[in-house]
Amino acid sequence: MAGRLEGKVAVITGAASGIGRGAVDLFVAEGARVIAADIQDDKGARIEEDHKGRAVYIHCDVTKEGDIAAAVAAAQRHFGRLDCLFNNAGAGGARETSDGISAESFDAVMHLHVRAAMFGVKYAVPAMKAQGGGSIISTASVAGLRTGFGPFLYSVAKAAIVHMTRFAATELGPYNIRVNCLCPGLIATSIFGAGLGLPRQVADASVDAIAEGAKTAQFIPRGGLPKDIAEAALYLASDGSSFVTGHALVVDGGLTLGPSVTSQMMAFAPIVQALGLDMAALQSLTEKKD
């Protein structure tokens, strides 16, 4: 039985870990050939080992326009086409409040999320136009839809991705290019721990604790997994979503169905406790960093 992405070629950024790695594995399993773009070269090499001939790793810093262009070019060079771009690279970002942001933090967060996604669109579109269509997917967040689910700058950046998605969909629809985004809730990846200020190695080791703590944070009583988001991306990349465009697909286990949250620390309290962190001490650390 043919997979849902049989014969298709995808570029996935942030592909070496978390949601991106889950998407690489699922896309390949469903028949796609993948350009896995990331800056984690050791993990990228393992992708090629695990998916010999079906996935090619390319070093790609999405804050550099030339690297994004090179990733798209690699799809055409290695596999002859481009059917799907999954703009997935990202990070938790700075925790400054609205009255304490710095130009450096603003530029870093916007370049990593918004600018990278926009340049992804810029370089993917010509290839997709030439072959009669394609699918562009970006990872946004529930933090881009409602307040209280992420730091200020991160939330603003993700909201920009949602609106970019809708605007690009109106421009590219006539070319049969669909543009959608995903809005994950609490997903057990190292990005969440890093966003709380944990060192990278500690954040990597905290994924199981994050999943455990997230069980009580939303209505579906389990933590969200990278595979949950990968499955949603698979749908948007496949022909099964051929009439879906301009959509922000929420995948959050019902997190945003609850009452309004005045502080992201309140929403994330179960996870913070599962990580063995003290809420008051963490808040103090956040204020010092700001």
Phi, then psi, of 31 in degrees rounded to 5: 105, -5
- How far is Cα 38 from Cα 41, in angstroms, rounded to an integer? 7
Mark 41-71 as b/e (b = at least 16 C-beta within 10 Å). Answer: eebbeebeeebeebbbbbebbbbebebbbbb
Residue 37 CB partners (closer than 8 Å, separation 6+)? 11, 12, 13, 14, 15, 57, 58, 59, 60, 62, 67, 71, 89
- How far is Cα 286 from Cα 99, in angstroms, rounded to an integer? 14
- How far is Cα 179 from Cα 196, in angstroms, rounded to an integer? 31
Phi, then psi, of 140 in degrees rounded to 5: -100, -135
Is 123 considered catalytic here?
no
- How far is Cα 57 from Cα 230, in angstroms, rounded to an integer? 18
What's the Cα-to-Cα distance from 52 to each of 28, 58, 73, 139, rounded to whole Å?
Answer: 10, 14, 20, 26
Q: Of the listed 123, 154, 175, 235, which one is catalytic?
A: 154
CB contact at 8 A, 274 and 216:
no
* Nearest partner of 258 among 195, 216, 226, judged by Cα: 216
Which amino acids are annotated catalytic? 154
